[in-house]
Amino acid sequence: MGKSYPTISAEYETAVVKAKRKLRALIAEKNCAPLMLRLAWHSAGTYDVQSKTGGPFGTMRHKLEQSHAANNGLEIAVKLLEPIKEQFPILSYGDFYQLAGVVAVEVTGGPEVPFHPGREDKPEPPKEGRLPDATKGSDHLRDVFVKQMGLSDQDIVALSGGHTLGRCHKERSGFEGAWTANPLVFDNTYFTELLAGEKEGLLQLPSDKALLSDPLFRPYVEKYAADEDAFFADYAEAHLKLSELGFAEA
């Protein structure tokens, strides 16, 4: 299904360009790319295709959504971003949080993810319980990403590669550690480490291991481990789809 993007003003376009510069500076200064990517993902990943509720529409600004168990620690991201957001009152929070995710991938060496502005902020957060649970396997991943969000198997594996950035914090998720040795570099190491097996000091969650044990997921893991360009192309497409769930539907 195609997209029909809203027309935005020249003033809005200029604000996007300027905000992007400020976001690059913030992420470089604070080394917070993984946190910004998580904010963008968790904002968008609540979308439900059946009820057409949730999604990347700025509701993470509400304390209620920040208090959802899956969003532990994201209040830090919201706080870090607020001084920049105040400089650009014309921008919606929906656009601003997704822009932060796009910039996080770009400044850590990842692919350029296309960005289309025009999301309108929704007043109410979605109900809790729509985001994936890292302790569960492939059936759960498909329930969340395919049935609920309307994404594909390929999108699931490509997006999982975003775990090349960042680490788990025991106090936030119950897990501790990073997936790769360089958690501030966006590359295909997540997949090469996954295929190499468990290593002391590196993390593999049940949802990561599900990508190896599932016969439909594993070929993507092998493809991305062997070909970073293929991973970057598919990741950019999947990230774009996630960031636009429920937005600009034709």
Residues marked active site are found at: 42
CA dist., res. 243 & res. 149, Å (int)? 11
Partnered with residue 168 across adjacent β-strands are 177
Beta bridge partners of 202: 178
CA–chain centroid gap for 37, Å, is 5
Please, how many CA atoms are within 13 Å of residue 118, restricted to the half-sphere of its CB? Answer: 16
- As a whole number of angstroms, the distance between CA 43 and CA 157 comes to 19
Contact 188, 231 (CB under 8 A): yes
